[in-house]
Structure 1
Amino acid sequence: MSSLKRDVKDEDDNSSNPYQNLDKTIVLQETREFNQTLVIPRKCSLILTKILYLLNQGENFTTQEATDAFFATTKLFQSKEIMLRRMVYLCIKELSKLAQDVIIVTSSLTKDMTGKEDLYRAAAIRALCSITDASMLQAIERYMKQAIVDKNPAVSSAALVSALHLSSTAPDLVRRWANEAQETINSDNAMVSYHALGVLVLSRRNDKLSTVKLVTRLSKSHIKSPYSLCLLIRLAAQLCDGDDSEASQPYIDFIECCLRHKSEMVIYEAAHAIVNLRKTARDLAPAVSVLQLFCSSSKAALRLAGARTLARLTTKHPTAVAACAIDLENLISDSNRSVATLAVTTLLATGAESSVDRLMKQISSFVSEIPDEFKIIVVRAIRQLCSKFPRKHQSLAAFLAGMLRDEGGLEYKAAIADAIIALVEENPDAKETGLSHLCEFIEDCEHTALAVRILHLLGREGPKSRHPSRYIRFIYNRVILESGPVRAAAVSAVAQFGAQVPELLPNIKVLLARCQLDEEDEVRDRAVYYSTILETENPQLINDFIVNIPKPNVVLLEKALRDHLLHPEEPFNILSVPAEEVVKETKKPIAEIEVRKPVQMSIEEIYAEQLAKIPGIEKLGPLFKTNLPIDLTEAEIEYRVRVVKHVYARHVIFQFECVNTLNDQILEDVHVRLEVPPEYEIKSIVPCQKLVYNTQDNVFVVVEYPCAFIDSLGSFMATLEFVVRDCDPNTGTPDPGEGYADSYPLEEFEMGCSDQIRARAGGDDWEQTWERAANVPEANDTFVLSQTDVGDAAKAVCEHLGLPNGSISGDAVKEIRGGGIFRGGAPVLVRARLAGSIAGVTMKLSARSPREDVAQLLLAAVG
Structure 2
Amino acid sequence: MSVFSKKDEDSGLSTYYNNKTTVIQEARVFNDSPISPRKCRALLTRIVYLLYVGETFGTQEATTLFFGTTKLFQHKDSALRQMVYLTIKELAITAEDVIMVTSSIMKDMQPNSEVIYRPNAIRALCRIIDPSMAQGVERFFKAAIVDKTPSISSAALVSAYHLFPAAKDVVRRWVNEAQEAVNAKSSSSLFGNSSSGSYLGWGASSTPSNSGYQPIPSTSYITQYHALGLLYLIRQQDRMAVTKMIQQLGGGKSGAGTTLKNPMALCMLIRYASKVMEEDPNVQRQMFDLLEGWLRHKSDMVNLEAARAICEMKGVTSAQLTRSIAVLQLFLSSPKSTLKFAATRTLASLAINHPASVAACNMDLENLISDQNRSVATYAITTLLKTGNEASVDRLMKQITGFMSEISDEFKVIIVDAIRSLCLKFPTKHASMLSFLSGVLRDEGGYDFKRAVVEAMFDMIKFIGECKEQALSHLCEFIEDCEFTKLSVRILHLLGVEGPKSPQPTKYIRYIYNRVVLENATVRAAAVASLAKFGLNGLDEKLSNSVNVLLRRCLDDVDDEVRDRAAMYLKVYQEPPLVTTYIKEDSTYSLSALESKLVSYMSDPDAAEQPFDVASIPKISREQAAKEVARPSSLETIGVPSTSKAAATPPPQTAAETQSIYAQQLSDVPEFASYGPVLNSSAKPTQLTEAETEYQVSCVKHIFKEHIIFQFNVSNTIADTVLEQVSVAMQSQADAGLTEDGIIQISSLSAANSPGLVYVSFTRDSPDEFALASFQCTLKFVSKEVDPSTGEPEEDGYEDEYQLEEAELTAGDYVVPSYVTFASEWDRLRGGASATETFSLSAMESMKAACDSIIEILNMQPLGGTEDPQSPTVHTLQLSGLVSGGCGKVLVRCRMAYSKAQGVTLELAVRAEQDSVCQLVVSAIGG
Q: Give the TM-score taking structure 2 as reference length.
A: 0.57
Deviation track 1:755-800 (CA, whole Å, cap 9, x = no partner) reads: 3469999xxxxxxxxxxxxxxxxxxxxxxx99xx9985968999xx
Deviation at 1:296, TM superposition (A): 3.2
Partner of 1:580: 619
AA at the equivalent of 2:733: Y
Higher deviation after alignment, 40-49 or 379-388: 379-388
Alpha-carbon spacing, 1:397–1:350, altered in 2? closer, same or farther (3 Å)? same
Number of the residue aligned with 1:460: 497
Matched with 1:822 is 900
Partner residue in 1 for 2:541: 505
Aligned to 1:806: 877
**2:297 match:** 261
C-alpha displacement of 1:83: 1.2
1:177 CA drift (Å): 2.5
Deviation at 1:269, TM superposition (A): 1.7
Letter in 1 for 2:842: D
What is the alpha-carbon distance in structure 1 between the residues aligned to residue 419 and residue 258 of structure 2?
Answer: 48
**Distance across 2 between alignment mates of 1:524 and 1:141:** 71
1:403-434 Cα distance to aligned partner (Å, 9 max, x none): 22223344433432333233223333332222
2:192 is aligned with 1:155: no
User: Could you say which residue in structure 1 is the equivalent of 2:181?
Assistant: 181
- 5+ residue gaps, structure 2, are 1-5, 188-218, 252-256, 621-655, 660-677, 683-727, 739-774, 778-802, 809-838, 849-854, 880-893, 907-927
CA distance in 1, matches of 2:729, 2:178: 52
Q: Is the 8 A contact 2:534 2:543 kept in 1?
A: no
- Find the counterpart in structure 2 of residue 191 from structure 1: 222
Rounded Cα–Cα distance in structure 2 between residues aligned with 1:178 and 1:528:
72
Aligned residues: 633
What secondary structure sits across from 2:491 in the alignment? helix
Q: CA deviation at 1:580?
A: 3.1
**Structure 2 counterpart of 1:300, which letter?**
S
1:673-705 deviation per Cα after TM superposition (whole angstroms, max 9, x unaligned): xxxxxxxxxxxxxxxxxxxxxxxxxxxxxxxxx
- Report SS of the residue matched to 2:358: helix
CA shift in 2, pair 1:475/1:191, >3 Å: closer
Aligned to 2:34: 38
Residue 87 of structure 1: how far off its partner (Å) = 0.6
Deviation by residue 1:619-676 (Cα, 9 ceiling, x = unmatched):
xxxxxxxxxxxxxxx9994424xxxxxxxxxxxxxxxxxx8999xxxxxxxxxxxxxx
Preserved contact between residue 294 and residue 306 of structure 2 (Cα < 8 Å): yes
Distance 1:484 1:557, change over 3 A: farther
Map of 1:271 onto structure 2: 307
* 1:128-178 per-position Cα deviation (integer Å, ceiling 9, x unaligned): 444345676666656555544544332333333334444452224423524
CA contact (8 A) 1:240 1:251 kept: yes
Secondary structure at 2:295's aligned position in 1?
A: helix
Asked if structure 2 preserves the Cα contact closer than 8 Å seen for 1:197 and 1:228, the reply is: yes
**What secondary structure sits across from 2:444 in the alignment?**
coil
3-state SS in 1 of match to 2:97 = coil
Is residue 2:461 matched to residue 1:424?
Answer: yes
The secondary structure found in structure 2 opposite 1:156 is helix
1:33, distance to aligned residue in structure 2 (A): 1.9
SS at match of 1:285: helix
1:42-89 deviation digits (Å, cap 9, x = unpaired): 111122223333444555555554444333222212322221111112
> Secondary structure of the residue that 1:118 maps to in structure 2?
coil
Distance 1:577 1:493, change over 3 A: farther
Question: What corresponds to 2:77 in structure 1?
Answer: 81
Cα distance between partner residues in 2 of 1:243 and 1:185: 31
Matches of 1:754 and 1:60, distance apart in 2: 68
Matched, 1:383 2:379: no
Cα pair distance change 1:127/1:391, threshold 3 Å: same
What are the residue-to-residue correspondences of 1:400-799 with 2, within 5 Å? Answer: 400-447=437-484, 450-472=487-509, 474-475=511-512, 496-500=533-537, 502=539, 505-506=541-542, 509=545, 513=549, 520=557, 540=576, 543=579, 548=584, 553=589, 555=591, 559=595, 580=619, 637-640=731-734, 754-756=841-843, 792=862
CA contact (8 A) 1:757 1:822 kept: no
Seen in structure 2, the aligned counterparts of structure 1 residues 290 and 59 have a Cα distance that, compared at 3 Å, is same
One-letter code aligned to 1:48: L
Aligned to 1:649: none
Evaluate the alpha carbon distance shift between residue 292 and residue 545 of structure 1 in structure 2; reply closer, same or farther with a 3 A threshold: same
Based on CA coordinates, which of the two structures has the bigger radius of gyration? 1
2:337 counterpart of 1:300: yes
Decide whether the 8 Å contact of 1:45 with 1:84 is kept in 2.
Answer: yes
Look up the equivalent residue of 2:35 and give its one-letter code. V
Aligned to 2:123: 126
- Aligned pair in 2 of structure 1 residues 388, 477: CA closer, same or farther (>3 Å)? same
Is contact 1:106-1:128 (8 Å) kept? no
Counterparts of 2:381 and 2:473, CA distance in 1: 27
Q: Deviations over 1:307-341 (max 9, x none)?
A: 23223323443333333333334444444444444
Which amino acid counterpart does residue 70 of structure 2 have in structure 1?
A: T
User: Are the aligned partners of 2:183 and 2:224 in contact in 1 as well (CA < 8 Å)?
Assistant: no
Q: Closer, same or farther in 2 for the Cα pair 1:356/1:64, shift >3 Å? A: same
Q: Do the aligned partners of 1:307 and 1:343 also contact (CA within 8 Å) in 2? A: yes
Letter of the structure 2 residue corresponding to residue 302 of structure 1: L
SS at match of 2:23: helix
Residue 368 of structure 1 aligns to a residue whose secondary structure is helix
Letter in 2 for 1:283: Q
Shift of the 262–790 alpha-carbon distance from structure 1 to 2, 3 Å rule, reads farther
Counterparts of 1:101 and 1:483 in 2: how far apart (Å)? 55
CA distance in 2, matches of 1:511, 1:330: 56
- How big is the shift at 1:267? 0.9
Q: Could you tell me how far apart the structure 2 residues matched to 1:745 and 1:144 are? A: 45
Q: 1:19 to 1:182 in 2, by over 3 A?
A: closer
Q: Tell me the amino acid that sits aligned with residue 428 of structure 1.
A: G
Tell me, yes or no, if the aligned pair for 1:552 and 1:577 is still in contact at 8 Å. Answer: no
Contact 1:240–1:248, Cα closer than 8 Å, also in 2: yes
* 1:414/1:316 CA distance change after superposition, 3 Å: closer
Give the whole-Å Cα distance in 2 for the aligned partners of 1:14 and 1:306. Answer: 35
Question: Of the candidates 379, 399, 405, which is equivalent to residue 436 of structure 2?
Answer: 399
Q: Distance in 2 between matches of 1:660 and 1:65?
A: 70
Distance 1:227 1:509, change over 3 A: closer
Identity fraction in percent: 42
Distance 2:846 2:236 in 1: 50
Q: Which moved more, 1:297-306 or 1:524-533?
A: 524-533
- 2:247 corresponds in structure 1 to 216
User: Partner amino acid for 2:304?
Assistant: Y
Give, in angstroms, the shift of residue 533 of structure 1. Answer: 7.4
Aligned to 2:883: none
**CA-based RMSD:** 5.3
Once the two structures are TM-superposed, the CA of residue 351 in structure 1 deviates from its matched residue by 3.7
Paired with 1:512 and 1:660, the residues of 2 have a C-alpha distance of 62
Instruction: State which of 47, 53, 71 in structure 2 corresponds to 1:51.
Output: 47
Q: Relative to structure 1, is the Cα distance of residues 444 and 92 closer, same or farther in structure 2, using a 3 angstrom cutoff? A: closer
CA-CA distance at 1:747 after TM superposition: 8.0
- TM-score scaled by structure 1? 0.60
The answer on 1:106 being equivalent to 2:119 is no
